[in-house]
Amino acid sequence: MHSSVTTQGNQRIMEDVPLSAIVQQFGSPCYAYSKKAISENFLDYQRALGSRDHLICYAVKSNSNIAVLQTLAKLGAGFDIVSVGELERVLMAGGDPTKVVYSGVAKTADEMRRALEVGIHCFNVESESELRLLNKTAAETHQLAPVSIRVNPDVDAKTHPYISTGLKENKFGIDINRAFEVYQQAAQMDNISVVGVDCHIGSQLTDITPFIDAMQHLLLLVDRLADSGIKLKHIDIGGGLGVRYQNETIPSLAIYMDALEPLLKGRIETLVMEPGRSITANAGILLTQVQVIKKNGDKNFAIVDAAMNDMLRPALYDAWMDINSAEIIADRTEDSYDVVGPVCETGDFLAKDRMLAITEGDYLYLSSAGAYGFTMSSNYNSRPRVAEVMVDGHQIHLVRARETIEDLVRGEQLIKEQ
């Protein structure tokens, strides 16, 4: 997938803009995204699927900034959403609701009504209870709800347990051994239109074997349904293709599609995919400034102004993310540092045991921060969330203003004394 930062002389560059120019203009910490990298990563999917009938639904949860969604909508992307808030973001960004698939394990009747109102492509139903509620809600609004049932194939994606979604012990989907019965129930419901099957086995996959195993399970179900008179229009294989954070070997999209092709040869169903991380992760960075260099015995700390509330992945998943200086300064000696934030938690770190040639005041950037970065950020310790910018050639666009203290307390009220 396309990365966002290159080196020119002693400067790190995003497209045609030095990283130092971004922080000088917009402050630190700050998320920066490359419009070109986002676009090329999406177009790689389009090229890999070629002439096969397909729909690429970007997973909004990975990065939901409306400028990112706008960029993808203009390229013809569909969208995979998990809340009505994500649906409204897609609509604000100019996304086509007929290309939206609605996933998630706890959709409410109100959320279903809104999705039916705007005419989404389909609901990825994750339980029998949800199916009954959707049928009832669609009847109340005199509509027919398009449904794809998310099946859980019990395939081990061999990824971090927190982002594995295809095993029996995970909360997602319907056991594939019960799926046929559930499809039979759905087909009998007056306000349900069965249109597809959906599967998502996990995130950050670096091996295509689990995808192939999952597809084989899906196709057996699809053919059994067809024999019973239920013919599906699409097969949704989900997302999950990983990115390179450290030294992972990531299969190309061409290799992935070449492996799927023998299974799909001669089939007429539309292939739906839900990529997220592989489109935005390596297109974004988190810029941060070194505030304090601190030595505790044999341990060196670089205390920066970004924290776990800005980028949760290292603390939550013990995720390794590359970190480097925004400018290369000659004649400096490298040393080993833990790069930590100012939040009052021992788990507040961005990187551990990294060789860096830095001093107080330097700017660093955390690579591959364009997915599951800002979307998972919070106001813990009453810290305003950071700015987001989009780089497009020589231009820098502010796509989210830095929060203020007033933003933090908006909606809160003091108790009026009697």
> How far is 195 from 181, CA to CA, in rounded Å?
16
57 counts as catalytic: no
Report pLDDT for 2: 60
Which regions of the chain carry the CATH code 2.40.37.10?
5-33+281-409
Query: What are the residue ranges of CATH 3.20.20.10 in the chain?
Result: 35-279
Instruction: Compute the distance between CA of residue 124 and CA of residue 147 in angstroms, rounded to an integer.
Output: 6
Give residue 171's pLDDT.
55
pLDDT tens across the length of the chain (418 residues): 566 899 999 999 999 999 999 999 999 999 999 999 999 999 999 999 988 999 999 999 999 999 999 999 999 999 999 999 999 999 999 999 999 999 999 899 999 999 999 999 999 999 999 999 999 999 999 999 999 999 988 775 554 343 344 344 455 679 888 999 999 999 999 999 999 999 987 767 777 888 888 889 899 999 999 999 999 999 999 887 788 888 777 888 888 888 888 999 999 999 999 999 999 999 999 999 999 999 988 899 999 999 999 999 999 989 999 999 999 988 889 999 999 999 999 999 999 999 999 999 999 999 999 999 999 999 999 999 999 999 999 999 999 999 999 999 999 999 998 7
Quick one: pLDDT at residue 172? 65
Contact in structure between 54 and 261 (CB atoms under 8 Å): no
Q: Are 153 and 240 in contact (CB under 8 A)?
A: no
The CATH-assigned architecture of domain 5-33+281-409 is Beta Barrel (2.40)
The confidence score (pLDDT) of residue 397 equals 98
Of residues 30, 57, 122, 344, which has the active-site annotation?
344
Give, in words, the CATH class of 35-279.
alpha beta
Nearest-angstrom CA–CA distance, 327 and 359 = 12
